[in-house]
Structure formats: structure tokens, C-alpha cells
Amino acid sequence: MGFLLGLDIGTSGVKALLVKEAGEVAGSVTVEYPLYSPRPGWTEQNPEDMWKASVEAIRGVLSEYSVKGDQVLGVGLSGQMHSSVFLDESCDVIRPAILWNDVRTSAQCQFIRDSVDPELLFQEVCNPVLEGFTLPKLLWLRDNEPHNFEKVRWLILPKDYVRFRLTGNIHMEVSDAAGMLMMNVRSQTWSKAVLESLDLSDEILPPIIQSSQVAGTITGEVADLTGLKEGTPVVGGGADNACGAVGSGVVKPGRGFVSLGTSGVVLAHLEQPKLITTGTIHMFNSCVPQEFYMMGVMLSAGLSLSWFRERIGRKFDSYDALTADAAESSPGSRGLVFLPYLTGERTPHGDANARGSFVGLSAAHTQGDLVRAVLEGVAFALRDSVELLRSAGWNGTGLRALGGGAKSLLWKEIIASVTGLAIEELNIDEGPAFGAAILAGVGANVYGSVPEASDSIVKVIDAVEPNPEWEKVYGDMYEVYRGLYPALKGSFDQLVTFQ
């Protein structure tokens, strides 16, 4: 029996997932590594930690599930987007990687906006300039560590670094490259126009490859370290959300998913790119060649519920207990609205100063009302993304549910009723590592194409439909919700000065 190996190089660790040729999950092993915050707002990791954890995870999953190296037909990788790995002429790491959630680059973001024609920038990179992206990190290095900037021969991303260590070849995979603000998303080439406006060279950026394209093979040294067979093909892989789309079957127009983790993501597959000038929303290259996906991100989805649980002294209660209380409340939480901006917001506002709020609170409200308001506030924020996707021409009727929050039937019914979309349950929820394994199968000729492989494995097994009685209430409440951010923005900006 043959197996496919998916590696997800995440922010907290590496997940190694073994998938049988027919698509059945054999098992996984996760190895964690540290995250460093040398100053407030800074987050860094050592690429060597990522590599050592990858080796340990591969060795561990092969051992635990009694799989021999020559049974693995291909390797695919997924990874955290935007995070910068700087290599010198000898391909040695110059400094710790600056991660996607590092916010030190506000000055560099403003420099980009001031230096590059806004229309040119948007037409080239198709995304707003935000601190999390890779280009501002490179400029920060030039401004603050010129001695390190002068050493840079290659700028790559975490999964591309691990793939380099597996194969000895340096490439940049297209769905990850799309999140750097350096690539023309439509032509899939490095944007000389943007780089030259900033006095940067594309010579430090490696060749761009497709997600299921073979980028190299396992070296003899790596075979000895991991137990994989020398010569096993390794494909380009994909960014975490791009691989999440493959692993959930969101590989054709009209399909989308909603992910309820710490943050919340609404992602839709598009055949053709569509630029939207209102609202902070992202458009990146899909793992399906020459196709795209659009994505809205809210920063505090599951985080809102976990924060509330802890703050009201129910840290040791199950989430089921909390949502049972919420079920005792009525749709609209008896006139209570929660703004889930606990850590600022990305879509649609792009405002780091936005803050969480309960609006409409009275002495009559119960704890159950508050819990339900939190669930509804997250759903309203997700609808903000859905509305932007619809304005781009997405016409889907359902969203596939991913993440821990999707285990709550009540939350799914609330989201369905707020968005008017069926929330679909899948036969598999293994995250980006599963998508990476599918990509490996395409590259190893186990499957014919990414859509064919994904559709043959991932199935919708159930769906939570909108509740017609709730939809009317939520339609009215959403209008109230939409009016609160602009009404409170000035207050948010003032309040952060006291923090």
C-alpha cells in the first residue's frame, strides 16, 4: 500500500500526516517548537527549529504507523503565510524568521504606500498593504539591520525553507508567493514595477513553481535522517489556507469554506481574479493552476468565546455548557450586540485600533444572552466577509465548516441564519496537511489533477440550513451591527491611547 505525506509548517509546530492512496487518513504526529517575542508586537521563530521538528515529525509518523520509507510516494508541504526566512550566499539562515503576526512594520507599510503608485500597486499585488505581509519585513530589515540586509541572497517562506532542506533546491510556491506583496498575482511573476519603486531587486526571490509541481526529491542525507526513501518526489505545496481549500474540496467555483479557529476565515474559490477596492479582503492564487481564491479574515472568532469563558469564571466548563446557556436565549440575544474586535480587525475594516464591545447591555440580560451575543457577533463579522465575496461575483449557496468552533451545532445554525448559507459538514477535517498530501499525490501521478483528487476524497455528509424564523431577526440585527463600527471608531482611536 502506498502513502502520501503532508507536512504543515505552522506557527506552533509541524504536523506530519500520512494519507493512504485512496484518501483515508492513516494518522499524524505533531511536534511543537517555540515562538519568541523579543519586544512587544514582535514575533519570531528559528527556521532551524522548524527543520528539526519536521525531521522528528516525519520520523515519528513513519514509526508510529509502521510505514516504511519506500511506501511513501510523495511529500507535500503547507505552511504559515507571509513569514520571512532570510538566507545568505551559503543558504545559511541570517536571523530568526519574522512571522506573519509580527506588527513592527507600520512605518514600512506607510513607506510602500507613499512610494508606489496606489493603482499600480493594487493592479500588481491585488492586496492591501498590511504589516503581516512579507515585503514590509524586507524593508524593515533594510532600515534597521542593514548589516543583515547586505547578506541576503534568498528570501523565502517557512515551508519553502523546509522543502529546501528536504531537497537541496530553492523555489517559491505560487500560493505562498501571492501573500508577499511582491508578485503579480495574475501573471504569477515577480513584480519588477513594485520592487523597482522601492529600490529592491528580484534577484533575491527564487523561481516560482506550481503547488503540485515536483520541486525536487529527498536527498540521501535526509533519507538517513527521516526514514524516507532517497529520490521520493517533493511538490511545491501551498499556503495554509490554500491547502485548507484543497483539503476541504473548495477547488471549484461556487464553493467556499468557513473556518472557526482562534481567528475566523471565509474563503471562496474563483476561476478568474476580481479586484475589490472596498473592505480589507485578500485575493491569492489557488493550488489549482491558473485559478484563485478570495478570503476574508476576522481576528477573534473562537478567541472571542474562549476569552469570554475565561473572563466570566467558567474556564473549566466545556464549550457545550456555554452554548447550552446560549440556546436558552432568543435570536438577537434580547437586543444585545457584541463587536468581536478584541485584537483589532482585518476584514472588512483593517483597523488595529478596533476594540470589542457589548452594546445594548441592560440589567435584564442573562449570562446566556451574553454568550449568544458573542456567537452572533462572530457570525455578523463572518457575514461582512461573505458580502464582500458576493460583490466579487461569488454565488455559492453553502460554506464547508472547518475548525474547532464548527463542532457547535448552535453556532453553525446561527452562522447559517446570519449569512443565508448552508453550513456543510465534511467527512474529513484534517486541515492544511491533508491538502498538502493531496498535492503530493497529484505530483506523484497518484491522482490526475487537484480538483479530481479533492472531489474523489472529500465529501459533504450533512448540512445545517438557515432557520427561516431567525433569518429575519438577524437581517435586522446585522444592520444595527454594521452601523456600530463607524459610530464607535473615533472612540476606539481615543481609547487605545490610554492602554
Please give the positions annotated as active site. 240
CA-CA distance, 410 to 416, in Å (whole number)?
Answer: 10
- The stretches of 273-431 forming alpha helices (DSSP H) are 302-311, 319-327, 367-391, 409-419
DSSP class of 30: E
DSSP class of 255: -
Could you tell me which residues come within 8 angstroms of residue 448 by beta carbon, excluding any fewer than 6 positions away? 442
Smallest CA-to-CA distance from 102 within 137, 58, 127 is with 137
49: which 3 cell numbers? 527549529
Residue type, 462: D
Exposure of 261 in the CB half-sphere (CA atoms within 13 A)? 12
CA-CA distance, 438 to 243, in Å (whole number)?
Answer: 9
- The stretches of 296-403 forming alpha helices (DSSP H) are 302-311, 319-327, 367-391
CA-CA distance, 369 to 465, in Å (whole number)?
Answer: 23
Inter-residue contact 245 to 257 (CB < 8 Å):
yes
Exposure of 416 in the CB half-sphere (CA atoms within 13 A)? 22
- The stretches of 201-318 forming alpha helices (DSSP H) are 220-226, 240-247, 302-311
